[in-house]
């Protein structure tokens, strides 16, 4: 089955620790995204990548880092610099083929991160 | 003023009711409009997509866009308990080179009671 997988489903972090959230897609999509969802806040864009080895900051990138070494993988690291990391993290991907303007974003099942 | 405004609800209706969900926006460059459905503790899934103004129907769901009023709606006819979810509107300017950017509303929590 084609789709997006995120792991782990639940993650607990102690204060001062870095943690890495995994996102893998087998849809052959060029673009991948990370969003954060908080209650009453909607989805906010953290980072996005339109091509391997390149990525851009979204609206709330501070305290986060990403890498895009492979087309199918876009891991997100939540660093100790992120002051309020407890949230639901969603990864998405889309096909941005040449000539397309609109791209549907397909979402993974999410990772719920809790800071202890 | 936020770019996209959406009433968070919660909205509770009896089974079979017609549901109306709405978003307003301020950015006149938006021309692609989407509705996502998100079940509790799951990722959002695309429900409806509309380009520019007009209506689009898919089964029990109808999406409407009024660009002159900067107002979009999602109607659900004959609502079912399985429609209970959070509904997120999303919009994009669809500009070449930056078509990644989706701006989301905060979502409306809908409960359909049997």
- Taking an 8 Å cut-off on Cβ atoms, the answer to whether A100 and B107 are in contact is no
**pLDDT of B100 strictly over 90:** no
Work out the burial of residue B67: count CB atoms within 10 Å of its CB; fewer than 13 is exposed, 13-18 middle, 19 or more buried. Answer: middle
Say yes or no to pLDDT of B92 above 90: no
Task: Tell me what the pLDDT averaged over chain A comes to.
Answer: 90
pLDDT band at B95 (very low <50, low <70, confident <90, very high): low
Longest dimension (CA), chain B: 46
Inform me whether the pLDDT recorded for A78 exceeds 80: yes
**Under 8 Å CB-to-CB from A98, ≥6 apart: which residues?**
none
Interface residues of B toward A, Cβ cutoff 8 Å, are: 6, 8, 32, 34, 36, 41-46, 49, 51, 88, 90, 92, 94-96, 99-102, 104-107
* Chain B closest-CA separation from residue A29 CA (Å): 12
Average pLDDT over residues A58-65: 95
Question: Is the confidence at residue A60, as pLDDT, over 70?
Answer: yes
Strands, sheet with B61-66, edge to edge from the N-terminal-most edge strand = B4-6, B19-25, B71-76, B61-66, B54-58
Q: How far apart are CA A28 and CA A31, in angstroms?
A: 9
What secondary structure, in 3-state letters, does B19-44 show?
EEEEEEECCCCCCEEEEEEECCCCCC
Q: Could you tell me the pLDDT band of residue B99, with boundaries at 50, 70 and 90?
A: low
Q: What is the mean pLDDT of chain B?
A: 91
Q: Return the ∠ at Cα B98 (arms to A97 and B33), rounded to 5°.
A: 85
Q: Do B104 and A42 touch (CB under 8 A)?
A: yes
* Burial class for B1, CB neighbours closer than 10 Å (0-12, 13-18, 19+): exposed
What's the confidence (pLDDT) of residue B66? 94
Chain B residues in contact with A89 (beta carbon < 8 A): none
Q: Check whether B13 has a pLDDT greater than 90.
A: yes
Contact A105 B107 (CB under 8 A): no
């Amino acid at each position: 089955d084609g789709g997006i997988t995120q792991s782990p489903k639940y993650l607990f972090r102690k204060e001062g620790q870095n943690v890495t959230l995994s996102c893998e897609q087998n849809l052959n999509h060029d673009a991948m995204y990370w969003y954060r969802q908080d209650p009453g806040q909607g989805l906010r864009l953290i980072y996005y990548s339109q091509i391997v080895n390149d990525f851009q900051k979204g609206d709330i990138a501070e305290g986060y880092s990403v890498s895009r070494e492979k087309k199918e993988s876009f891991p997100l690291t939540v660093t100790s610099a992120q002051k309020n990391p407890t949230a639901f993290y969603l990864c998405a991907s889309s096909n941005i083929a040449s000539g397309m303007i609109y791209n549907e974003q397909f979402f993974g099942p999410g990772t719920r991160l809790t800071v202890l | 003023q936020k770019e996209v405004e959406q009433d968070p609800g919660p909205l509770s209706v009896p089974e079979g009711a017609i549901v109306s969900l709405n978003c307003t926006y301020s950015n006149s460059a938006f021309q692609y409009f989407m509705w996502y459905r998100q079940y509790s503790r799951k990722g959002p899934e695309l429900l409806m997509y509309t380009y520019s103004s007009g209506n689009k129907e898919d089964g029990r769901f109808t999406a409407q866009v009024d660009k002159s009023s900067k107002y979009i709606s999602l109607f659900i006819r004959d609502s079912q308990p399985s429609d209970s979810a959070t509904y997120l509107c999303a919009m994009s300017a669809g500009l070449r080179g930056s078509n990644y950017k989706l701006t989301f509303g905060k979502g409306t929590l809908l409960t359909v009671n049997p």
